[in-house]
Structure 1
Amino acid sequence: MAVTTSPYASDALPGGTVDAVVIGGGTAGLNGVLMLTRSRRSVVVIDSGSPRNAPAEAMHGFIALDGTPPLEILRRGREQVRQYGGRIVYGEVTSAEPAAPSTDGDLRFTITLADGLCVSARRVLVATGLKDVLPEVPGLAEHWGHGVVHCPYCHGWEVRDQPIGILATGPASIGHAFLFRQLTEDLTYFSHGTHLDEATRARFAARNIRIVDTPVREVVNNEDGTLAGVRLTDGQVVARRVFAVATRMEAHAEGLDGLKLPMQDLPDNMGRGIATGMAGTTEVPGVWAAGNATDLAAQVGASAAAGALAGAHINSVLATADTDAALAAAQGETPAL
């Protein structure tokens, strides 16, 4: 078996049962932990160390932290939750499933890691984030997070006034084009086999958005490896410095089959995430979800806020369970599930 080295100091798993396990150590997960640990809850974070925004040089759109490198934000977050007793374990979850209830009738879950170690928890917060699925165009993926971007709010200011191309993936790319047109006067829309009706073509023409209907064959690089443009299937090369792509977004749910999480699809094949209700609750008792795993379009600030709300709700539910157990013990009863 290959040995995986943690990108940061990893804590040891505790013995016994903890109040909560948080699967995913991004902003949603860490903010959920912060709320729980500040309420003196025992919490373990299982983190794979591969956040969605890792390729980006800086995070934007979050007041006071705008321009901060994503990995620096996570470093600070880990440091803060550890101050309150939270444990952060580097690893991959291979299974997560309900276990037999405790003697007081409370819920239990068993989380197993790739190295075979397990942790028992009363509640689970899934904050695994998502993966962006790019079109299968040779050379595109190597520029992800730099010359190839997806969000006008995350990256738009940094690519303003440059020759930008929209590589269409479906109907969502049309709205994408108008957002990026706000940032540059040199915008080309590569329909790449997707449909554009005459009304949309007229709207593009009104905004001076050029349309290329010939499919894209591959990405072309400059000698220094930066993005130079794309080569079409007819051999023509169209120069572009940046490409914006509306990716298909899919929640990370590897290893979570045992939880039987409810999933939901976005329109136009835009993505698939975990279905949640108020404060990140799911249909599975004792399991919450927050951040991009459930809100596929959430930026860092929204993900952090959702994690905080879920953490606070988990603490409230645990407080009720603690009180029910204490009352039952005082009356010599076993509380009902």
Structure 2
Amino acid sequence: MIDKIKELLGSEADSLLNYKAKFPKEKLHLPGPDFVDRIFAPSDRNINVLRNLQWIFNTGRLAGTGYLSILPVDQGIEHSAGASFAPNPDYFDPENIVKLAIEGGCNAVASTLGVLGMTARKYAHKIPFIVKINHNELLTYPNKYDQIMFAGVRQAYDMGAAAVGATIYFGSEESTRQIQEVSDAFAYAHELGMATILWCYLRNSAFKTKEKDYHVSADLTGQANHLGVTIEADIIKQKLPENNGGFTALNFGKTHKKVYSDLTSDHPIDLTRYQVINNYMGRAGLINSGGASGENDFAEAARTAVINKRAGGMGLISGRKAFQRPMEDGVKLLNLIQDVYLTKEVTIA
């Protein structure tokens, strides 16, 4: 498998597979078969949260490794159903979403209250459900960008979900309310015994300049992660960082020069490791998003998985690259991602 991974990485293969990270891996809490016992058992999470986390870790092709491959399909709301499902109309049918996650060997499927509720009695005991409880809807004109609650935590619990997921747009005008809403929701989810996953996204037009898009800078996304673990997200979903220096370029907030001199470099593995560092040194797992579908999906998926794994991350949550193609090909893409985490030659940098 390592030869196939090298082929997909192309000219970046040596740089990504042999790089030694700037910040030492020995200081991190890395994924492993004992992750729930090692990290969450000493925490304040109750027994049922531990059980649901263990169920997620013990499902699919990555079962027992401590790594995660999750299929997220909330794009019907976040990007519109037409934009998301027109490339493959089969996925207007919620059952096909769950089938793809099962056939693709995923640890869990994350989707809307409607999708998972429609299929719960048939599938909630077969694969862990993650109910996404808030969304950004795009039908208001002119568009507004705000995550609002679409579902209640109790509804997720009643359908047998293992976890709830939510998004916060850190940096937005609405972020204060979102932080409060999601913090309350996560506390209730933990009380009921469900795990919590937070989409820690940045949203502010000032974060995008003519030169760079700092919505994907390591320092700003790292701080978003740190806010996310503060409200007890068990797992953090974050975009793969593409640059750094958001705080200094935008001249706001507070940072330290050692963030850029000692903790990071321009290498993508170092940038991603800074995200892991902000997740309490990996005590809360980092899963990076797979991004939009395009012409080089398999190569991009392999690259993202290699960077995440070598940085000390916990896995990928990849949707459009998988469901915007025939199911057989979607399964192959998900399996490719999982193969990176199963390949021992891809080591922690």
TM-score using structure 1 length: 0.29
- Structure with higher strand content: 1
- Structure with higher helix content: 2
